[in-house]
Amino acid sequence: MPIYSDKVMDHFMNPRNVGEIENPDGIGEVGNPICGDMMTFYIKVKDDRIDDVKFKTFGCGAAIAVSSMVTEMAKGKTLDEVMKFTPELVAGELGGLPKAKFHCSNLGAQALHKAIKNYRDKKKEKEAAST
């Protein structure tokens, strides 16, 4: 059984920002069929910053803790800052993850990056449509 840091346990037992945002500016979904973890991130963007972020995660304790931590790290940051989040950064913020669970930190960063890409793509389409 993997040993988790107190921070991982806290974010697993009391996850922050769980849920869905109505009419989100961006949505990012990732899944790992091997371990069964599925993450969906919803973002609201204001002045090129993450104004609000929520998640729904189906998975192990580490996946839930990673999702919670990633949302906390992202709030208030610019989109470019969030795009620089790496699995190592996320795992480090949680006080480390067991090697077998490190892929979870990768999923959290990927899901958030996908939500930002989705937002940027929608923004480009709107701008193209209005010209």
- Supply the pLDDT for residue 104: 85
Domain 6-126: give its CATH architecture.
Answer: Alpha-Beta Complex (3.90)
Q: What is the pTM of this model?
A: 0.92
Q: Could you give the CA distance from residue 115 to residue 25 in angstroms, rounded to a whole number?
A: 8
User: Catalytic: which of 39, 69, 91, 104?
Assistant: 104
The question of whether 60 is a catalytic residue gets the answer no
Domains in the chain: boundaries: 6-126
- Supply the pLDDT for residue 131: 77
- Supply the pLDDT for residue 24: 98
Positions of the chain with pLDDT lower than 50, given as ranges: none
Provide the CA 55 distance to its chain's centre, in angstroms. Answer: 7
- Supply the pLDDT for residue 105: 85
Which among 43, 36, 41, 42 is positioned nearest to 58, based on CA atoms?
Answer: 36
User: Catalytic: which of 18, 27, 35, 60?
Assistant: 35
Chain segment 47-65, per-residue pLDDT in tens = 999 999 999 999 889 999 9
Chain segment 32-45, per-residue pLDDT in tens = 777 788 999 999 99
Q: Could you give the CA distance from residue 4 to residue 115 in angstroms, rounded to a whole number?
A: 28
- Supply the pLDDT for residue 130: 86
- Supply the pLDDT for residue 102: 86
